[in-house]
A and B are shown apart, each in its own frame.
Chain A
Amino acid sequence: MTPGGKALAEFVAEATEILDALGRDLLALDEARGQEADPEHINGIFRAAHSLKGLSGLFGQERISQLAHAAEDLLDRLRLGRLTLDDGVLDTLVDALDTFQALLGEASRTEEGPELTQRTRDMEDRMARLGSPPPAVEEDPLERLELDATVRAVFTEYEEHRLRENVRRGVALWRVRAAFDLTDFDQGLADLNARLKPVGEVISTLPSSRPGGANGIAFDLIFGAKVAAPSLEAALRGTPAELAPLAVRPPQEGAPGPAFDVPRPPPEDVDAELLPPDTDEEAPDEDAEPPGGSTSLATVPVPPIGSPPRMRAVTPPPTVVGLQAAASAPLPAGRPKTEETSLRSLTQTVRVDIGRLDGLINMVGELLLIKANLQRLAETSRQDGTVALSKLFGQELSRETRQLERKLEALQEGLLEARMVPVGQVFDKLARLVRKIAREAGKEIDFVSSGGEVELDKLIVEELSDPLMHLIRNAIDHGAEGPESRLAAGKPRRAVVRLRAEQKGNHVVISVSDDGSGIDEVRVREVALSRGLVTPSQVSEMTRRELLNLIFLPGFSTRASVSALSGRGVGLDVVKNNLGNLSGIIDVWSERGKGTAFHLTLPVTLAIVRALVVGVSGRTYAVPLNSVLEILSVQPRDIRTVERREVLDLRGQTLPFLRLGRLFHLPEHEVNRHFVIVVGLAQQRLGIAVDELFGQQDIVTKPLGGRLSRVKGISGATDLGNRRTVLVLDVAELLEEGIAQERRRA
């Protein structure tokens, strides 16, 4: 599927959910036609329209976005009581929903028919024209409420409307005053609200004019009660709340008011009327969440069985239910072009909890182990004459095993693909943030992002957002200069911050760069020295690159250094650690006056990796193959020492060299040759000496868990099929140790 197609499929999936929610609320309103509309539903629809507007704007779906905007307008007026919900409005909203569905249908086929465009415009006009204002009442009901004008002034428009509505309907209004201790007032207030909610509507919560004592805080809740005073008192028993009725004057003689003229306790059956019809109240909230909310789920989980059935579940399309089955692909040809009445869903996306995918991948891991065992059996039966099996049978068996292997690989690949999401998901969120940060920092920033279509494992993408945010914030706050100093330096007024993703083989490189003032390595050196992170003799031999990398040292950056070093490096060690957890590494480039760039190198997935199985002093370890560059066989005499540290000469270049057994304090014994695994990430190279090589295998790495997270050089453990747990080396960490050792000795 093309990257664009995938983004579109995502949009269609999200939009469909929003429309589903909108439809549910609309249905509830429709069923209650002629009755007082439940404000919850109107609010729900309003929120849905708002989310849809944002979402479609984000994906460049102009027509949907504009129609959603018109609908949002209409609903806002409705919500604030500037428009009454009559049949005309309701019909318009229902028609609008149909139009949305049709638009989404065209969008999913990447079409834009003129006919529908016209219909959209008509719809927008119709919504804008709607607007018989509510029947004019000569006297604002609010005037009849004896409430201090200063109190009234702080109401939001919506709160004022709800209050007016309650007065008009003659609901008994109360002021619920409650004082709480400052230490736990939030709990107390929540408890109070929870008790009030079943018996009426909390219209507004205001800080009380009455002081709440030395350690207290008092609130006034304006409350419209659905029940009579005794039941209200009963409901509030045990809370610090004091009840005071809010007096309402009867409407003036002859005023064209509603039928009832004096405030009275509402009749008992009001309860039933005000209860929302059968919809799930929380649904709009959930669905209104912005696209790709930062949960760890792949997306929103599959709805529970009780929720309204989706039609796609009832009539599964003939195609295979791929996890990202192409919504962008043309829909089955038999479909009529104008399918407004079709109940089929537009999207064939299934949203899955990432935990389930993890479970499946683990399962494939186990299958691979069984396969390896089978393969071994087949091998022995073929070669070993002693096993009482016919040779033919052995050949058959090994052929079938190979078949199994291929299928398993395909299955594994498919599962891994299902976990892949475009990094654009994070980029979009960051783009929104940039505007905010730039405004706060008083900088003029152009934000350019590219490569959003590059795909990474969902878990990695989620974990990336914080480090990237950190780096971008740094780039804006401290990298980019203000407009004036930029002009003075002969640069364009607006600074450019770039975010770029690029696939490089097994890795994805994400870079955050700015064209600002760059990092001052002299200051870096001063700070590192003053903090005692390095010794003067060490820095004297450091290259500029090494100096720059000092900013990642823990303890380099503290709040106190913010001003000393223009804040560069705030918590960069944390960023580095976060990336380390993803088996990624970070590298910095900077040139004074020209800018700074951070390069993040990440593996594409962490779920299943191919690993090299090695032996050291009788122990077995696994090395992820994606970081292995080559393997050398080295005689002990080839190892040289430069100032007492061991190095290898690799085609004329000096390669830092590390004996794994020595690093891990394992008993050493003489060997007549070493195998040296050359590992590399970004520009760093290191040779790791081991005793034996056992071959390659696909492994599912399990993290060591909270208790062991501090163990260095080990990223997890895996099971190689002989029930023996084998540790997986953390190449990024070993590289760092190797380089650090070198630096220490230098």
Chain B
Amino acid sequence: MSRFEALLDAFFYRPDEDVGGLLDFAAGSDDLAPPLLEEEPVEYLAFRLESECYAVPILAVREICKVPLLTEIPRAEPHLLGVMNLRGELLPVYDVKLRLRLADAPPVVAGPDAGLPPRAARILVLKTDDGPAGVWVDSVAGVVRLKPSMVELSPAGLRGDRDCVAGLGRKGSQLYILLDPEQALTP
């Protein structure tokens, strides 16, 4: 059989071929979710970094935990604080203050020179495309529900070279800086 024939042969459907997977695939694409008509509020988890209030979509948060012992990774990027062991799972823990220019140097929180973490500090375990990752926050403020109309895209002046700030949410007098978790963790 020539190469071309072999390719054709592999391509064409044969009566004895199993297409179960494709069937499922085709079935899944049939009914897309109906478009939202009413404004549904979206839940965000709000937290503090230094003195500013930030928020991430709550669906991106897997869990919140107290700061465990962190092990520093030698020669890692500066925003990687270290790794932590969460019930046997190994997770990297990142600092986003550097990225947001809230600090000039990452805090020393891992290794023998680290002091006790502040009582209010927590690690948010975020779900990202590259697996779960921890983010250090100074304190957790709570859950806030924001309607899309309460969110404005971040003004150009606030954007850095990369857009880790997705927008600004306003509820009453409180301003929430909405973080894009995926972007914020990219070095």
Closest residue of chain A to B9 (Cβ to Cβ) is: A156
- B75 engages A194 (CB within 8 Å): no
Contacts A193-B19, A711-B76; A725 near B130 (Cβ below 8 A) = no
Pick from B22, B75, B80: contact of A190, CB under 8 Å? B22
The reply to whether the CB of A637 lies closer than 8 angstroms to some CB of chain B is: no
The reply to whether the CB of B71 lies closer than 8 angstroms to some CB of chain A is: yes
- A705 engages B92 (CB within 8 Å): yes
Contacts A191-B26, A618-B112, A725-B83; A708 near B19 (Cβ below 8 A) = no
Pick from B69, B76, B113: contact of A725, CB under 8 Å? B69
Comparing B10-18, B98-106, B156-164, the segment that makes contact with chain A is B10-18
- A194 engages B76 (CB within 8 Å): no
Q: A362–B85 Cα gap in the complex (Å)?
A: 14
Question: In the assembled complex, which residues on chain A have CB atoms less than 8 Å from the CB atom of B76?
Answer: 708, 711
Question: In the assembled complex, which residues on chain B have CB atoms less than 8 Å from the CB atom of A189?
Answer: 13
Map CB proximity to B onto A653-683 as digits: 1 under 8 Å, 0 otherwise: 0000000000111110000000000000000
Question: In the assembled complex, which residues on chain A have CB atoms less than 8 Å from the CB atom of B73?
Answer: 704, 708, 711, 714, 727
Question: In the assembled complex, which residues on chain A have CB atoms less than 8 Å from the CB atom of B69?
Answer: 723-725
Closest residue of chain B to A46 (Cβ to Cβ) is: B16
- A666 engages B74 (CB within 8 Å): yes
Q: Which of A314-363 contact B (CB under 8 A)?
A: 362
Closest residue of chain A to B89 (Cβ to Cβ) is: A702
Contacts A190-B22, A664-B74; A725 near B131 (Cβ below 8 A) = no
- A285 engages B18 (CB within 8 Å): yes
Nearest-CB distance from B55 to chain A (Å)?
23
- A726 engages B71 (CB within 8 Å): yes
The reply to whether the CB of B23 lies closer than 8 angstroms to some CB of chain A is: yes
- B15 engages A282 (CB within 8 Å): no
- A706 engages B131 (CB within 8 Å): yes
A-B pairs, top 5 by smallest CB distance, nearest first, are A664-B74, A618-B112, A190-B22, A725-B71, A191-B26
Nearest-CB distance from A186 to chain B (Å)?
8
Closest residue of chain B to A286 (Cβ to Cβ) is: B18
Nearest-CB distance from B176 to chain A (Å)?
26
- B13 engages A708 (CB within 8 Å): no
Q: What are some 30 contacts across the A-B interface (CB < 8 A)? A: A159-B15, A187-B22, A190-B19, A190-B25, A191-B22, A191-B26, A193-B22, A194-B26, A197-B19, A202-B13, A285-B18, A362-B88, A618-B111, A618-B112, A619-B112, A664-B74, A665-B74, A703-B90, A705-B90, A705-B91, A706-B131, A707-B131, A707-B133, A708-B80, A708-B83, A711-B75, A713-B75, A723-B85, A724-B69, A725-B85
Map CB proximity to B onto A194-209 as digits: 1 under 8 Å, 0 otherwise: 1001000111110000
B: number of interface residues (CB 8 Å): 34
Question: In the assembled complex, which residues on chain B have CB atoms less than 8 Å from the CB atom of A162?
Answer: 15
Nearest-CB distance from A4 to chain B (Å)?
36
Contacts A666-B74, A727-B73; A194 near B19 (Cβ below 8 A) = yes
Q: A42–B20 Cα gap in the complex (Å)?
A: 20
Majority secondary structure of chain B interface residues (helix, strand, loop or mixed): loop
The reply to whether the CB of B178 lies closer than 8 angstroms to some CB of chain A is: no
Nearest-CB distance from B6 to chain A (Å)?
13
Pick from B15, B20, B84, B130: contact of A706, CB under 8 Å? B130
Contacts A162-B15, A202-B13, A618-B112; A708 near B72 (Cβ below 8 A) = no
The reply to whether the CB of A502 lies closer than 8 angstroms to some CB of chain B is: no
Closest residue of chain B to A620 (Cβ to Cβ) is: B71
Question: In the assembled complex, which residues on chain B have CB atoms less than 8 Å from the CB atom of A190?
Answer: 13, 19, 22-23, 25-26
Question: In the assembled complex, which residues on chain A have CB atoms less than 8 Å from the CB atom of B185?
Answer: 707
Q: Which A residues lie at the B interface, using CB under 8 A?
A: 39-40, 43, 159, 162, 187, 189-191, 193-194, 197, 201-205, 281-282, 285, 362, 617-619, 663-667, 702-708, 711-714, 716-717, 719, 723-727
Nearest-CB distance from A36 to chain B (Å)?
16
- B133 engages A619 (CB within 8 Å): no
Nearest-CB distance from A667 to chain B (Å)?
8
Question: In the assembled complex, which residues on chain A have CB atoms less than 8 Å from the CB atom of B13?
Answer: 189-190, 193, 202, 205
Question: In the assembled complex, which residues on chain A have CB atoms less than 8 Å from the CB atom of B113?
Answer: 618, 667
Question: In the assembled complex, which residues on chain A have CB atoms less than 8 Å from the CB atom of B23?
Answer: 190, 194
- A702 engages B90 (CB within 8 Å): yes
Nearest-CB distance from B44 to chain A (Å)?
24
Question: In the assembled complex, which residues on chain A have CB atoms less than 8 Å from the CB atom of B18?
Answer: 281-282, 285
Pick from A43, A197, A664, A727: contact of B71, CB under 8 Å? A727
Given contacts A190-B26, A712-B75, A727-B71, 13 further A-B contacts (CB under 8 A): A159-B15, A187-B25, A190-B25, A191-B26, A193-B22, A194-B22, A194-B23, A618-B112, A705-B92, A707-B92, A708-B76, A716-B90, A727-B73
Contacts A202-B13, A705-B92; A282 near B20 (Cβ below 8 A) = yes
Closest residue of chain A to B68 (Cβ to Cβ) is: A723
Q: A726–B185 Cα gap in the complex (Å)?
A: 24
Nearest-CB distance from A560 to chain B (Å)?
25
Nearest-CB distance from A658 to chain B (Å)?
13
Q: A39–B16 Cα gap in the complex (Å)?
A: 9
Closest residue of chain B to A42 (Cβ to Cβ) is: B16
Question: In the assembled complex, which residues on chain B have CB atoms less than 8 Å from the CB atom of A193?
Answer: 13, 19, 22
Question: In the assembled complex, which residues on chain A have CB atoms less than 8 Å from the CB atom of B72?
Answer: 619
Question: In the assembled complex, which residues on chain B have CB atoms less than 8 Å from the CB atom of A362?
Answer: 88
Q: Which of B61-88 contact A (CB under 8 A)?
A: 69, 71-76, 80, 83-85, 88
Question: In the assembled complex, which residues on chain B have CB atoms less than 8 Å from the CB atom of A712?
Answer: 75
Nearest-CB distance from A716 to chain B (Å)?
8
Q: A137–B84 Cα gap in the complex (Å)?
A: 78
Nearest-CB distance from A295 to chain B (Å)?
16
- B26 engages A43 (CB within 8 Å): no
Closest residue of chain A to B82 (Cβ to Cβ) is: A725
- A725 engages B26 (CB within 8 Å): no
Q: A39–B76 Cα gap in the complex (Å)?
A: 61
Q: A200–B19 Cα gap in the complex (Å)?
A: 15
Question: In the assembled complex, which residues on chain A have CB atoms less than 8 Å from the CB atom of B20?
Answer: 282
Question: In the assembled complex, which residues on chain B have CB atoms less than 8 Å from the CB atom of A723?
Answer: 69, 85
Q: A717–B73 Cα gap in the complex (Å)?
A: 10
Q: A201–B13 Cα gap in the complex (Å)?
A: 12
Q: A435–B185 Cα gap in the complex (Å)?
A: 49
Q: A723–B88 Cα gap in the complex (Å)?
A: 10
Q: A725–B84 Cα gap in the complex (Å)?
A: 7
Contacts A194-B26, A717-B83; A201 near B15 (Cβ below 8 A) = yes
Contacts A190-B22, A193-B19, A202-B13; A705 near B85 (Cβ below 8 A) = no
Nearest-CB distance from A699 to chain B (Å)?
13
Contacts A193-B13, A205-B13, A282-B18; A704 near B83 (Cβ below 8 A) = yes
Q: A436–B92 Cα gap in the complex (Å)?
A: 45
Question: In the assembled complex, which residues on chain A have CB atoms less than 8 Å from the CB atom of B22?
Answer: 187, 190-191, 193-194
Question: In the assembled complex, which residues on chain A have CB atoms less than 8 Å from the CB atom of B26?
Answer: 187, 190-191, 194
Question: In the assembled complex, which residues on chain B have CB atoms less than 8 Å from the CB atom of A618?
Answer: 111-113
Q: A190–B84 Cα gap in the complex (Å)?
A: 46
Q: A703–B19 Cα gap in the complex (Å)?
A: 36
Nearest-CB distance from A201 to chain B (Å)?
6
Closest residue of chain A to B129 (Cβ to Cβ) is: A706
Q: A281–B13 Cα gap in the complex (Å)?
A: 17
Q: A603–B5 Cα gap in the complex (Å)?
A: 44
- B15 engages A202 (CB within 8 Å): yes
- A619 engages B111 (CB within 8 Å): yes
Q: A394–B136 Cα gap in the complex (Å)?
A: 45
Question: In the assembled complex, which residues on chain A have CB atoms less than 8 Å from the CB atom of B130?
Answer: 706-707
Question: In the assembled complex, which residues on chain B have CB atoms less than 8 Å from the CB atom of A159?
Answer: 15
Question: In the assembled complex, which residues on chain B have CB atoms less than 8 Å from the CB atom of A203?
Answer: 15
Closest residue of chain B to A194 (Cβ to Cβ) is: B23
Question: In the assembled complex, which residues on chain B have CB atoms less than 8 Å from the CB atom of A707?
Answer: 92, 128, 130-131, 133, 185
Question: In the assembled complex, which residues on chain B have CB atoms less than 8 Å from the CB atom of A40?
Answer: 16
Question: In the assembled complex, which residues on chain A have CB atoms less than 8 Å from the CB atom of B12?
Answer: 205
Nearest-CB distance from B80 to chain A (Å)?
8
Closest residue of chain B to A724 (Cβ to Cβ) is: B69
Q: Which of B1-57 contact A (CB under 8 A)?
A: 12-13, 15-16, 18-20, 22-23, 25-26
- A719 engages B74 (CB within 8 Å): no
Question: In the assembled complex, which residues on chain B have CB atoms less than 8 Å from the CB atom of A665?
Answer: 74-75
Q: A162–B92 Cα gap in the complex (Å)?
A: 59
